[in-house]
Structure 1
């Protein structure tokens, strides 16, 4: 826990001081890729390395990040290793699709995630957050300890189901958190065959073990689609105008295929809510260890909820709450790596006489994990300091040094949705309850599909 003078420094791997051997790379990447990065990755603005005989550029300079992901994004495609890991789960969902398939999917979904449309989800987010807190009444009365990581997964699923699917997702939400954990523990992690770039038909042992839970997810999505298609045919007046309906209506020769619709639904059920869930859990954990910041957030929430019933306005009216969430995403970025591969030769100049050449085929790693903790970009980079994200301080943060949602053409389409969801959920939860660490609260950040707390987040819940 932080002292009045020193901010809280949450757990994270200590950067390596010597290069790992090939065996260490394989072992570490399989266990936890976050433990692979060395001290230069947090100090240098860019560095070229050989990774399994593959040219790799690690980009930490905001200008270089902008060049690769924005200014010359057309010259960079998804890296092979990333696709080998994610495509078995998401196939042609928005996170993994490329080319014309990605463009059609992005265009189809854009209307749902405009800021105006996202604001229309606020009341449902509020209702689901309030309904969720009922399960904490008994726990708070008895000062029980619950795994907040699991709880936040269930809460964000409730919100996602209610807002984007009108509560009509097939399957049992009671099993959902466990299924997500099993899916990401098996299907969402690097396999040695990925590092060797073996073709996708070569079996990956861990993913073989995950096929059953993936098949279960696919069946849930198929049933959800079938139920909605039946409703469209038999009772069109009762069809909700939500994300699911919009996607189904995009089916056709010039739109999306049924397989693409299925892939995008599973992307949002599996990955779309997972990122917010993890960030919420890390936020509550960090605030529990930073009492002065938690007090500021609680005071702000109490004031806003007492005077403003409209949740649409909370995001603007709760700068401390938003800052606490954004600082947690800095330290524990939901997507800790962004991987690209150069299609053609490229070069970038930093404006101070330095030039970076990028040969065709080079893998470019933009690592929010290292970028967000870089010693040249952040003051006290390993400390939890929410105030750096207050409106009066944001001007000091370069647009391309903080990438919780990515940037450029492939920026997360649900960023506004996620920020609004997080502030509303935190507002409801923290207005009623206080979450405190216990002796068993010893999370360790592990990179799976997202940055997850190994060991969970057991926390004691008390009524405020």
Structure 2
């Protein structure tokens, strides 16, 4: 195991945080699950398959249906696999069997030349200059959300539903210039249904069954998938007509760039818009909800964030300054993504034999790089299951190895919208928390499940009150 994180393993002093909150998560099992136990558990909730060894050891080797499976937790090995020798590792077939029915040839699932062409077409939208230009819209839509939630004071809401509404509003304002015509609550419900059912692991996926066999668990999501496809199809045709009428007058947003990109078919454009709506905004929505929940369970940490927001935000001239000016707010969000990573697995298949230190990787092996494990690994983090935003403050942040914290992935396929998501999240938190406070009202701690994202199984009920 790399020793690059030795400073991080030093105990955090009691004066900094005496009783940190232990974030809920499935309890690792101590005995092997067996074939049928694994099949059942992985189908119900994939993050429940992991035993105690997975959070203690740098590598774990096993086999599934005769294929070598290697779990890699060592940061330097992650660097080798996903950066230095990334060309040797392609998307794992199981991952593709789950995601391709939803996203088809979107950026998250495309490979080879199609992926390179799509990424090149989209990249101009996510330059620092462009993202800074989005921040006014991010702030305006966050203010709208604050006003809406202010009218709900004294009531209990599902904050994960509300953050879904907010991030969709920001997404369509910035990347699609408000051209996606959808009733917000219907969109939020359809998103939950779409990703909750279509993103589930089916036993047939685990067994490598052909795609023509129906996945019963996903049948419920077909209606919501048809809704999304119709919504995006109408949006594309509307913008295409605008381009024909007035090519100079259309906004230079993601939708226009996709329509002007060389070599992208109509279906591929649709697939990428679905990817950004379904997977792109959903990850930020879940992370925002988890952050508000965690802060509600750690009043001392919430008070620190509120104090920072109250002291700093009134003096800021533009929303583009929020990210750098609010390090504690950002730290709370980053710690939330550590405990509940937006993308809990980055799984690959080795094309050719490889070796990392003493670890030999045969051709055809499944290599599992799991942020869910790495982010909670006992050899990498002090009190890994506890909510301690302090570890992401500027004076500590540099001690975190680049390859032990992977909320947006790493290497050539790192999330193209990472900077966008960070700006959006800090702006949203600053505006909501400046005047509102959210308290968790569930009878018990939320159950944590993996679908496409890591999410609360039955939402996050929270009361709203004015500060």
Which residue matches 2:386? 383
Which residue matches 1:51? 64
Q: How does 1:244-255 map to 2 (within 5 A)?
A: 244-250=255-261, 252=262, 255=263
Q: Distance in 2 between matches of 1:324 and 1:108?
A: 33
Which residue matches 1:352? none
Of the three residues 451, 456, 459, the one matched with 2:454 is 451
Q: Distance in 1 between matches of 2:49 and 2:266?
A: 40
Deviation at 1:439, TM superposition (A): 4.1
**Is the deviation greater in 117-126 or in 432-441?**
432-441
Would you say the 8 A contact 1:442–1:457 is kept in 2? no
Of the three residues 328, 331, 334, the one matched with 1:323 is 331
Is 1:304 the equivalent of 2:315?
A: no
Is 1:104 the equivalent of 2:107?
A: no
Which residue matches 1:166? 177
Is 1:415 the equivalent of 2:418?
A: yes
Would you say the 8 A contact 2:195–2:278 is kept in 1? no
Deviations 1:399-445 (A, max 9, x none): 00000000000000000000000000000000010011124363111
What's the TM-score once normalised by structure 2's chain length?
A: 0.95
Is 1:336 the equivalent of 2:344?
A: yes
Which residue matches 2:9? none
**What is the RMSD of the two structures over their aligned residues, measured on CA atoms?**
1.3
Deviation at 1:202, TM superposition (A): 1.9
Decide whether aligned partners of structure 1 residues 4 and 108 sit closer, same or farther in structure 2, where only a CA change above 3 A counts.
closer
What's the TM-score once normalised by structure 1's chain length?
A: 0.96
SS in 2 for 1:55: strand
Is 1:273 the equivalent of 2:281?
A: yes
Q: Distance in 1 between matches of 2:406 and 2:167?
A: 21
Of the three residues 430, 435, 441, the one matched with 1:432 is 435
SS in 2 for 1:200: coil
Deviation at 1:282, TM superposition (A): 0.4
SS in 1 for 2:409: coil
Which residue matches 1:258? 266
Of the three residues 45, 62, 74, the one matched with 1:61 is 74
Of the three residues 96, 111, 114, the one matched with 1:83 is 96
Q: Distance in 1 between matches of 2:386 and 2:25?
A: 11
Is 1:202 the equivalent of 2:175?
A: no
* Long gaps (5+) in structure 2: 1-13
Deviations 1:52-106 (A, max 9, x none): 3321000000011111100000000000000000000000100000000000001
SS in 2 for 1:183: helix
**Number of equivalent positions:** 453
Of the three residues 224, 233, 236, the one matched with 1:213 is 224
**Is the deviation greater in 167-176 or in 363-372?**
167-176
**Is the deviation greater in 407-416 or in 111-120?**
111-120
Which residue matches 1:231? 242
Q: Distance in 2 between matches of 1:439 and 1:131?
A: 26
Deviation at 1:137, TM superposition (A): 2.0
